[in-house]
Amino acid sequence: MRRPLAVAAHSFAAVFLSMIGLLAYGCSDSATVNPVVELASLTVNPGTLHPAFSGDITQYTVNLSNNVTAVTVTAQPAVSGDRVTINGQATTSRTITLNPEGSPTIVSIVVSEVDTNSRTYTVVINRAGLTGNNSLQSLAVSPGTLAPAFNANTLAYTVDVANNVTSLSVTPTLDDPAATMTVNGQSATSGQARTIILDNPGQSTTITITVTAQNGNEKTYLISVSRGVSGNNNLRSLTVSPGTLAPAFSAGTVGYSVNVAHSVTSITVTAAPQDTAASMTVNEQGTNSGQPRTIPLRGSGSNTFITIVVTAQNGAQKTYTVDVGRAAPAGNNTLRGLTVSPGALDPSFNASTTRYTVNVGSNVSSVDVTATKSDPNAVMTDDVTAGAGTATGRATIQLNGPGTATSVSITVTAPNGSSNTYTITVNRAAQAGNNNISALTVSPGSLSPSFRADRTNYSVNVDSTVSSVTVTATKADPSAVLTINGQGTNSGQARTIALEPPGSSTDIAVTVTAPNGSSKTYMVTVNRPLPSGNNNLSALTVAPGSLTPRFAADTLNYTVNVPADVAGVTVSATKANPDAVISGDVPNGGQATIPLDGPGTSTNISITVTAPNGDSKTYTIIVNRAASGDEGDNRGNGGGNGGNRGNGNGGNDNGNDEDDD
């Protein structure tokens, strides 16, 4: 796109040019200047441009992982209408297939004005090369054990198997799932076991596992399996009971020590060789692999030496020794654990602290005390007992009454005769005096005033038709006792109370007795009114036709004039009190279609409303049906005639109603 640029010539320049005979530029001449041709935006998806895009930067790189095979390049010109090509194709967005892994792909984006200026942007997309991971993640054999233990960087292993083992299962797992692998030249699947037939007894079988990385680099792991005569004279495991080996067992460590209490008179040694074909003795006694052997110990304060000799198939021997130190009689008269339930020790337990307190609620009548000796051979006496050899003693302690303290004593006597007494004072709280309720509801109805724990008097107003209410109270103290009208009630339990007859009140007493015996009574007075005496209608209509006079609840007599061709009317009556009952020519539903007598006659319609208290009231409608021969005149004058008849009859009826009242 081009834009005109006005160039105004200065008068001095014009004079000067005229003087030298050159063509002077007119003041209104114009020239054109090309704007900068560039992109407004450039993106590669997936990927991120380096550096970040700017219209004046034309060289970019994008780095991607090797699993990305294609990208979408999108470019928008800065000036609408400029032409964009991506790798020679006129488009603003194009999918580019990438070169193989490790090879860059160059994308050229050209933005240009039509047949004039252009600018080229270059994006070099670097697709990562193939990984060089040619390691195994794990390598397992069965039967047998790799020596040394598997490590991805250790390439050579040995495995010793008994001479009766004819095959071995090898399971290699690749560290890079994209790598490939062979076992003894045969393609293998990562994590899949491969069975290898072994050479003859006494010979070694070599298993070759070759891992080829994505980039072609190879790594070979070798396993040499020795079958037959074994020189393995190591132990696989060694344990003692009671006691713990020091240091912890390791096949290459042959010397150990064990310390036991002075009360221990023997120790059980259990050893197992690594090679099931090897033989073993414990203190010169032939012993099977994993067979416990009991060794009597020397006296307290002395040491006993135990020797375990392992003889390999080839006759090579290795001797393991265990030095068992039996302690002299102990003077440990402490506890290492002390708990009370329910409750918590104050202060927290410490072996050197001998006095504690525990606070429990007034409703707790006993506690369970558990004490554990530091030396199981000490003796525990007093309120909690445990003999020598029994580490823990337990006892249930009955507490004194609420508001009092109970003392619990535990004496620990060490094997050397020294003793130590621990004392626990259990404080049982006095009974609570909370006689409040936390919630109180009545249904149907609502409390007045609204409930508050410190308010004890309430009233509830219900309809006269309500014969009972449901009262629900919740105790503030779960240990308190709740009654409603003298009847024991659970907290939150709904209790149904029958009400006195209409026109009277019913008192409901909700009494809460606290654990300490104090009580509080909440009184609810339920007011049930007399039945309503409302026997009015709130609406009355006749269709077709209209009432004369207009409807009013206190007006009982009406007339309606209809033409001779109207054979029936629909009367709709609405009760002012929904609990009242409508009877007479209109049912309680409030609507009826009334057939009329013949033309020139009148039809009386009676509607009686009976209030809930039994009082009744009757509304009367006289429907005047015009004579057939006078239909035209009656239609015009019927309203007046009907009005006269209605007024006359209405006056007489009203007079009668007043006499009846």
CA distance 535 to 345: 76
CA distance 272 to 505: 91
| Token reading at 290 | 């994993």
DSSP-derived pairing of the beta strands 392-398 and 419-428? unpaired
Residue-level pLDDT at 315: 87
DSSP-derived pairing of the beta strands 89-90 and 303-311? unpaired
| Token reading at 338 | 């002390």
Residues 6+ apart with CB under 8 A from 67: none
Residue-level pLDDT at 634: 41
Helix (H, G, I), strand (E, B) or coil at 385: coil
Residue-level pLDDT at 213: 92
Q: In what order do the strands lie in the sheet with 285-286?
A: 255-260, 317-326, 303-311, 279-282, 285-286
Residue-level pLDDT at 8: 32
Q: What is the number of helices (H) and of strands (E) in the chain?
A: 2, 48
102 Rama sector, left if φ>0, alpha if ψ -120 to 50, beta otherwise: left
CA distance 274 to 252: 12
DSSP-derived pairing of the beta strands 285-286 and 602-610? unpaired
Helix (H, G, I), strand (E, B) or coil at 632: helix
Residue-level pLDDT at 472: 98
Question: Which helix or strand (DSSP H or E) is residue 427 part of?
Answer: strand 419-428
Q: CB of 310 within 8 A of CB of 280?
A: yes
The distance in angstroms from the start CA to the end CA of the chain is 105
Helix (H, G, I), strand (E, B) or coil at 185: coil
DSSP-derived pairing of the beta strands 279-282 and 285-286? antiparallel
Give the residue from 42, 45, 49 showing the smallest Cα distance to 72.
45
- Residue 299, class by beta-carbon neighbours within 10 Å (0-12 exposed, 13-18 middle, 19+ buried)? exposed
Q: CB of 358 within 8 A of CB of 340?
A: yes
Strand partners, 512: 482, 520
Give the tens place of pLDDT for each residue, 528-564.
998 988 999 999 999 999 999 999 999 999 999 999 9
CA distance 659 to 655: 6
Which residues, given as ranges, of the chain have pLDDT below 50? 1-33, 631-661
Residue-level pLDDT at 230: 73
Residue-level pLDDT at 262: 82
pTM of the model: 0.33
Residue type, position 163, single letter: N
Q: In what order do the strands lie in the sheet with 93-97?
A: 39-45, 70-77, 93-97
> In order of start, what are the domains of the chain with their CATH numbers?
3-32 (no CATH), 39-127 (2.60.40), 136-227 (2.60.40), 235-326 (2.60.40), 335-428 (2.60.40), 437-528 (2.60.40), 537-660 (2.60.40)
Give the residue from 229, 220, 234 showing the smallest Cα distance to 202.
229
